[in-house]
Amino acid sequence: MTQASSHVGNTKPPLSPYLVLAIAIVLPGFGQGINNSPLRGLLMVCFMFILGMVTYQMAAPNVSLIGHLAGGIFIYAFSVMDAYYWAKYRMVLFKRNG
| pLDDT tens-place string over residues 61-78 | 999 999 999 999 999 999
Q: Which residue has the higher pLDDT, 94 or 2?
A: 94
Residue 50 belongs to domain spanning? 16-97
Residue 7 in domain = no
Residue 43 in domain = yes
What confidence score (pLDDT) does residue 7 get?
Answer: 52
Report the residue count for the chain: 98
Residue 23 in domain = yes
Under a CB-based contact definition with an 8 Å cutoff, are residues 60 and 49 in contact?
Answer: no
Residue 8 in domain = no
| C-alpha 55, offset from chain centre | 22
Alpha-helical (H) ranges within 1-98 are: 3-6, 17-26, 30-34, 38-58, 65-68, 70-97
Residue 26 in domain = yes
Residue 11 in domain = no
Cβ-proximal residues to 74 (8 Å cutoff; 6+ apart), any chain: 51
Residue 5 in domain = no
Residue 63 in domain = yes
The tally of domains found in the chain comes to: 1
